[in-house]
Amino acid sequence: MNLEQFINSSLGRKTVMAATGLFLCVFLVEHLYGNLLLFFNDGGVAFVQYSHDAVHSIIIRSIEVFLFVAILLHIVQATYLTRQNNNARPVKYAVYKVGETSNWFSRNMGITGSLIFFFIVVHLWQFFLPYRITGEIGGEGQMNVAQAVKLAFQNGWYVSLYVVSVAILSFHLNHGFQSAFRSLGLNSRKHAQLLSLAGSFFAFIIVGVGFASFPILFYFGIAGSTI
């Protein structure tokens, strides 16, 4: 089997989806690190500098291209595999049978993935577009990117959307993180429980609590008072 045949096979598609998913997990950690700079009591200076460096770094800009490609590949492969599975299983399992072996989130990764993609578009429209494309943020006489974040997190509707989306992302990752390792053949019965715990810790604590803390603490005025 050559490379093209492998990529177009079910195993190859699962491998691509797993690899891109784990790459996106690495990006989430890096993104969380950058956001943590908002908690520095420095008027947002560290976060603004971090954002400025990201814009002018050829390495970061190159990674961004891979990031967008990874998102698209992840969506395409997930859509294909979902349709393939549905076509191979024309008769749906009885509800009680399905519920015995899986939870709602593991059975509806396509739905949660679509909701996450919707939030990504909103998030990019809120920050990436005005800061990186149209130049409405960060210019002379304009609010800087830290102030833009603070302003957004004073909007109850956006805060609610953000927190709900992070919760959905956490459940999506909890299943996807473990599935990715299985697809790549990096799991084993011996380490299955450890992998499950690591996946849940990453999904709910690092990503869930980590990202949800920003809109909540900013909205209630616990963080960002100097920005």
Residue 42 maps to a domain: yes
What CATH number does residue 191 fall under?
1.20.1300.10
Angle, helices 109-123/156-183, rounded to nearest 10 degrees: 130
Residue 227 lies in a domain: no
| Within-domain flag for 112 | yes
What is the number of structural domains in the chain?
1
* Type of residue found at 140: E
pLDDT digits (tens, 9 = 90+) for 159-215: 999 999 999 999 999 988 888 887 777 776 777 788 889 999 999 999 999 999 999
Tell me whether residue 226 is in a domain.
Answer: no
Nearest by Cα to 131 from 74, 54, 218, 223: 54
In a domain, 109, yes or no: yes
What tokens appear for 165 in the block? 């989306």
CA 94 vs CA 59, 85, 175: distances in Å: 50, 16, 22
Let me know if residue 81 belongs to a domain. Answer: yes
Contact 203, 28 (CB under 8 A): no
pTM value is 0.84
Whether residue 35 contacts residue 211, with contact meaning beta carbons closer than 8 Å, is answered with yes
Q: pLDDT per residue over 16-73, tens digit each?
A: 888 888 889 999 999 999 999 999 999 999 999 999 998 888 888 788 888 888 888 8
User: Which residue range is the domain that position 25 belongs to?
Assistant: 3-219
The answer to whether residue 225 is domain-embedded is no
